[in-house]
Amino acid sequence: MEITQATAAELLRAMEQNELSCVEVTQAFLDAIQTRDVAVQAFLHVDPERALQQAEAVDQKRRNGQSLGRLGGLPVAVKDVLCTQGQPTTCASRMLQNFVPPYDAHVIERLKAEDAVLLGKTNMDEFAMGSSTENSAFQKTRNPWNLEHAPGGSSGGSAAAVAAGMAPIAVGSDTGGSIRQPASFCGVVGMKPTYGRVSRYGLVAYASSLDQIGPFANDVHGAALLMEVLAGYDSRDSTCADRPVPRYTERLDQPLDGLRIGIVEEHFTEGLDAEVESAVQDALKIYESLGARIEKVRLPHSRYAVATYYLIAPSEASSNLARYDGVHYGFRAQQFSNMVDMYSTTRGEGFGAEVKRRIMLGTYALSAGYYDAYYLKALKVLRLIRRDFDEAFAKVDVIAGPVSPTPAFRIGELVDDPLAMYLSDIYTISANLAGIPGISIPAGLSREGLPIGLQLMAPPFEEERLLRAARMFERETDWHRRRPKLMLTPQAGE
């Protein structure tokens, strides 16, 4: 078995049967990072020594016959928006370039408790604001399928790490599609859970009412396994739901009888790439062959989702990012004449262009005389979008459709066109506004050999239904087993 091409389940089985040690598995992924990440640039921080120490501790527990957690020595990559005690957490921003948190985020605590091995922190769009991972202050991550193309964003580093075989599973965050869109671009599985299913304690905030943490993996089982670990109640997050977490992996292979799949008429209109539409239609035919019933549903207010999102999210960002002022912690400008100048110069130098753009959008929308016209109206439309989903799910079990209008675009192609970049999330944003779970699964390749994802969405807290529906498709296809040439071709030093 080629370690870096194996699924999470295959690696766990090999370690449990003593065919591989955790140290061997961890070293294989560290070697892959050393050779492949020169090209991909998915990681901002890697700590080989600490990772190997964690791996040795897992091996020691296994040798002693001690019980191990559910991740049992699986290496994990973590988006650099989650606090990790004693290790840098930069949010890919100069503002936090030297920040080392004194505590772990809740999900990091959960990973450690379940015996994961933390490989390192992955690159992202600065403060999770972007759809291409080009907004990082430190480096541009590239798509392992074609290094001239973007991996998506803002969790592009985590998606690219899994796609390139540098981690079997990874953690990302999704505010408007930041897990699902890069999962689609990179040909991996990525899931945004229901808002409140996973604690946001220790997640550096972008838009607090929309942010959610979720898994990446190279198959549905890996995503389900990681979801079991990430999900659960945490009293430190007041929005975290106190609900039991199912063992998603136990019923994963049980097909959903009489599955009703909704197709949104508004999703198949002008702007949708023909190859993406064809891949989605082919996927629906596979579901029909499995006994699923396809029904048309309407989400009439989805046309306002992008406008609504880009009022609510920047408004919350304007508030959340006010704390980065050069006084409390983080970056401070070296040259300033007085305190007011220190604030403005610090924020001017510390934030990148996209972050500044969204702060200004949000500050404007919240300002006196404009609050009612923009922010308050956006909240009202958000309620209408949620109601549309409630009515649709009264008729169907899941909603299927595209993840992004196109396969991965070229690096630099949309940098000077913010609106076009924002529209790349047109099919994912509404799930965040409605607070419902969504998943992207590999469903095809374009003529250029770039991955195309299929998006499934389900009612709140129906992650099990979503994962089982995704697994139904995965069992009938081999798209999730395709690997980019970068991963299959030995790199220098391998």
Q: Which residues are catalytic?
A: 79, 154, 178
Task: Give the C-alpha distances (Å, rounded to integers) separating 210 from 78, 176, 298, 319, 394.
Answer: 19, 7, 23, 14, 23
- The answer to whether the beta carbons of residues 262 and 396 sit under 8 Å apart is yes
Burial letters for 260-279: b for 16+ Cβ neighbours within 10 Å, e otherwise? ebbbbebbeeeebeebbbeb
Q: For residue 193, give the nearest of 458, 382, 392, 474 by alpha carbon.
A: 458
Q: What distance in Å separates the CA atoms of residue 302 and residue 391, rounded to the nearest whole number?
A: 13
Q: What distance in Å separates the CA atoms of residue 278 and residue 444, rounded to the nearest whole number?
A: 9
Q: For residue 484, give the nearest of 5, 1, 41, 3 by alpha carbon.
A: 5
